């Protein structure tokens, strides 16, 4: 059976995901992947039918460890706004916490595959969409619980959230600016400020006035 094959295959995929995060999808070659896994190219190839299959498996595994390190721990936070905040906090720089050496393969793929066609693009697109849907779902929950204003444009909120993530990624990993975290936090707070119910704003203002 494939019982004995699984450890090897997952070892390949683990090594490969690391390579993916540092070198991007185009940086994945059977040769380098085999070398880093410590096996022959053909031996590695036998576990997948094609290079495309390798790429798809790597993306799938990426989604899985992202869910593990971003979504799962956020579920311990209370529903609504606290969970949304935790989700966003875990999102920023999740790859390092997941043990990946490089950046976010999904973000990189978005800019790498925007003019290509094929199954790899399709899979990445689906991953991106379901991630955005998950974000939207938790925003909606925060609205339902009265944590965010009832007339909030949820799609717009998520859209801007993605912008903060991308800018954070660019500044953290490319520019290597240590202030990336701070910038993202400020932007997130401002975005949240627009999304809070009106009475919550008044409360905050009142609290601020009391401090002064």
Neighbours of 131 (CB within 10 A): 19
Among 10, 50, 126, 137, binds DNA (CB under 7 A): 50
Neighbours of 150 (CB within 10 A): 9
23 part of the interface to DNA, by CB under 7 A: no
Nearer to a copy of itself, 16 or 103 (CB): 103
Element housing 177 (H / E) = none
Neighbours of 99 (CB within 10 A): 12
Query: For residue 16, which of 42, 40, 44, 50 has the smallest C-alpha distance?
Result: 44
Query: How far apart (Å, rounded) are the C-alpha atoms in residues 5 and 7?
Result: 6
93 part of the interface to a copy of itself, by CB under 8 A: no
Question: Which residues in 49-78 contact a copy of itself (CB under 8 A)?
Answer: none
Long-range pairs of 110-116 with CB within 8 A, sequence gap ≥ 24:
112/24, 112/25, 112/26, 113/25
Can you count the helices (H) and strands (E) in the chain? 12, 0
Query: How far apart (Å, rounded) are the C-alpha atoms in residues 182 and 47?
Result: 44
Among 114, 207, 208, 211, binds a copy of itself (CB under 8 A): 114
26 part of the interface to a copy of itself, by CB under 8 A: yes
Nearer to DNA, 7 or 178 (CB): 7
State the binding partner of 102 from a copy of itself, DNA, none, CB within 5 to 8 A by kind.
a copy of itself
State the binding partner of 175 from a copy of itself, DNA, none, CB within 5 to 8 A by kind.
a copy of itself
CB of 21 to DNA, least distance (A): 17
Task: Give the three-class secondary structure for 175.
Answer: coil
Query: How far apart (Å, rounded) are the C-alpha atoms in residues 188 and 207?
Result: 20
Rounded to the nearest angstrom, the gap between the alpha carbon of residue 104 and the centroid of all alpha carbons in its chain is: 7
CB of 109 to a copy of itself, least distance (A): 8
173 part of the interface to a copy of itself, by CB under 8 A: yes
Among 50, 64, 156, 199, binds a copy of itself (CB under 8 A): 156
CB of 128 to a copy of itself, least distance (A): 7
Residues making contact with DNA (CB under 7 A): 1-6, 8, 28-32, 38-47, 49-52
Residues making contact with a copy of itself (CB under 8 A): 21-24, 26-27, 101-103, 107-108, 110-115, 125, 128-129, 153, 155-156, 159-160, 162-164, 166-171, 173-175, 183, 186-187, 190, 194
């Amino acid at each position: 059976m494939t019982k004995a094959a699984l450890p090897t295959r997952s070892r390949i995929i683990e090594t490969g995901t690391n390579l993916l995060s540092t070198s991007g999808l185009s940086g994945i070659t059977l040769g380098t992947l085999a070398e880093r896994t410590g096996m022959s190219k053909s031996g590695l190839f036998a576990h997948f039918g094609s290079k495309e299959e390798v790429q798809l498996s790597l993306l799938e595994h990426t989604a899985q460890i992202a869910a593990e390190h971003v979504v799962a721990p956020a579920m311990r936070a209370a529903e609504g706004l606290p969970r949304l905040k935790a989700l966003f906090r875990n999102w920023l720089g999740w790859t390092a916490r997941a043990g990946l050496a490089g950046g976010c393969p999904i973000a990189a793929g978005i800019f790498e595959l925007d003019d290509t066609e094929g199954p790899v693009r399709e899979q990445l697109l689906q991953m991106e969409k379901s991630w955005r849907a998950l974000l939207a779902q938790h925003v909606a929950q925060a609205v339902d619980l009265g944590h965010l204003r009832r007339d909030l444009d949820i799609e717009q909120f998520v859209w801007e959230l993605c912008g903060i993530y991308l800018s954070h990624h660019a500044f953290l990993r490319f520019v290597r600016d240590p202030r990336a975290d701070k910038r993202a936090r400020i932007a997130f707070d401002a975005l949240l400020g627009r999304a809070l119910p009106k009475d919550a704003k008044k409360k905050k203002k009142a609290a601020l006035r009391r401090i002064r």
